[in-house]
Amino acid sequence: AQSVAQPEDQVNVAEGNPLTVKCTYSVSGNPYLFWYVQYPNRGLQFLLKYITGDNLVKGSYGFEAEFNKSQTSFHLKKPSALVSDSALYFCAVRDASGGSYIPTFGRGTSLIVHP
């Protein structure tokens, strides 16, 4: 079975400060991990993913995420937040070892960046 948890419904950060959106996962084998962003009244957009290789993954709009196998986490980070980063962020996981070939999405974390 595969599952993903986003422990925070909402994250508030001031513009210019670093931001972190948390994600933890559970899979039987190795994970494929994804982050998507949803702006108001829009569909989800792909940000970045970890399949294999370097634990630090760089994605769109200056975002990055760090895969930590021992902590089963894949937190999304950005060194300096922008007001325009305010959106809903989804983490997703797929067990690369088989079972479901479809990723499971978390419930989403609302990021609010204050001017």
Identify the residue whose tokens are 């210019």. 16
Interface pick for other proteins out of 59, 91, 93, 94 (rule CB under 8 A): 94
Backbone angles phi, psi at 84, to 5 degrees: -70, -10
Per CB under 8 A, 45 contacts other proteins: yes
- Using CA atoms, how far apart are residues 37 and 60, in angstroms rounded to an integer? 10
Output the six-digit token pair for 68.
Answer: 């930590």
Question: Does 49 help bind other proteins (rule: CB under 8 A)?
Answer: yes
Is residue 105 near other proteins by the rule CB under 8 A?
yes
* Contact between 66 and other proteins per CB under 8 A: no
Q: Where are the beta strands (DSSP E) in the chain?
A: 3-5, 10-14, 19-21, 24-26, 31-38, 44-50, 56-58, 64-68, 73-78, 87-95, 104-105, 109-114
Under the binding rule (CB under 8 A), the answer on residue 43 touching other proteins is yes
Pick between residue 79 and residue 99 the one whose CB is nearest to other proteins.
99
Which among 11-19, 21-29, 31-39, 62-70 is the span making contact with other proteins, rule CB under 8 A? Answer: 31-39
Contacts with other proteins, residue ranges (CB under 8 A): 32, 34, 36, 41-46, 49, 51-52, 90, 94, 96, 101-103, 105-108
